[in-house]
Amino acid sequence: MKKQIKFSLVYRDMWQSSGKYQPRIDQLEKIAPVIVEMGCFARVETNGGAFEQVNLLYGENPNKAVRAFTKPFNDAGIQTHMLDRGLNGLRMYPVPADVRKLMYKVKHAQGVDITRIFCGLNEVRNIIPSIQYAEQAGMIPQATLCITYSPIHTVEYYSGIADQLIDAGAKEICLKDMAGIGRPGMLGRLVKSIKDKHPEVLIEYHGHSGPGLSMASILEVCQNGADIIDVAMEPLSWGKVHPDVISVQAMLKDEGFDVPEINMKAYMKARSLSQEFIDDFLGYFIDSTNKHTSSLLLKCGLPGGMMGSMMADLKGVHSGINMILRSKNEPEVSIDDLVVMLFDEVEYVWPKLGYPPLVTPFSQYVKNVALMNVMQMVKGEERWTMIDNHTWDMILGKSGRLPGPLAPEIIELAKEKGLEFTTADPQSNYPDALDEYRKEMADNGWDLGQDDEELFELAMHDRQYRDYKSGVAKKRFEEELQRAKDASMAKNGYSEEDIKKLKRLKADPITAPDNGQVLWELSVEGPSIAPSIGTNYDQNQLFCYISTPWGEYEKVNAGLGGKVVEICIPQGGFVRKGDVIGYIQRNEISA
Domains of the chain: 6-286 (3.20.20.70), 296-428 (no CATH), 503-585 (2.40.50.100)
DSSP string, 176-217: EETTS-S-HHHHHHHHHHHHHH-TTSEEEEEE--TTS-HHHH
Residue 257 has pLDDT above 80, yes or no: yes
* SS3 assignment for 483-540: HHHHHHHHHCCCCHHHHHHHHHHCCEEEECCCCEEEECCCCCCCCCCCCCCCCEECCC
Q: What is the pLDDT of residue 92?
A: 86
pLDDT-derived band at 588 (thresholds 50, 70, 90) equals low
Ranking 183-197, 268-282, 467-481 by mean pLDDT, the lowest is: 467-481
Give the best-scoring range by mean pLDDT among 394-398, 484-488, 562-566: 394-398
Work out the burial of residue 382: count CB atoms within 10 Å of its CB; fewer than 13 is exposed, 13-18 middle, 19 or more buried.
exposed
Ranking 124-138, 430-444, 461-475, 489-503 by mean pLDDT, the lowest is: 489-503
* pLDDT, greater one: 572 or 238: 238
Q: Of 169, 205, 126, 4, which is closest to residue 401 (Cα–Cα)?
A: 126
If one counts every other C-beta atom within 10 angstroms of the C-beta of residue 550, the result is: 8
pLDDT-derived band at 589 (thresholds 50, 70, 90) equals very low
pLDDT-derived band at 49 (thresholds 50, 70, 90) equals confident
pLDDT tens digit string along 301-354? 777 666 666 777 777 788 888 888 888 899 988 888 888 888 899 999 999 999
* pLDDT, greater one: 528 or 83: 83
Residue 591 has pLDDT above 60, yes or no: no
Distance in angstroms (rounded) separating the CA atoms of residues 392 and 332? 32
Q: What is the pLDDT of residue 590?
A: 40
pLDDT tens digit string along 156-165? 999 999 999 9
| Mean predicted lDDT score pLDDT of the chain | 92
Distance in angstroms (rounded) separating the CA atoms of residues 569 and 567? 6
**Mean pLDDT of all residues in 425-446:** 96
Residue 234 has pLDDT above 90, yes or no: yes
Q: At what angle do helices 155-167 and 184-197 cross, to 10 degrees?
A: 40
Q: What is the pLDDT of residue 301?
A: 77
Q: What is the pLDDT of residue 527?
A: 54
State what percent of residues in the chain have pLDDT above 90: 68
Q: Of 319, 370, 346, 361, which is closest to residue 49 (Cα–Cα)?
A: 361
**Mean pLDDT of all residues in 61-73:** 97
pTM of the model: 0.84
Q: At what angle do helices 462-470 and 453-460 cross, to 10 degrees?
A: 120
Number of residues assigned to the chain: 591
**560 Cα distance to chain centroid:** 35
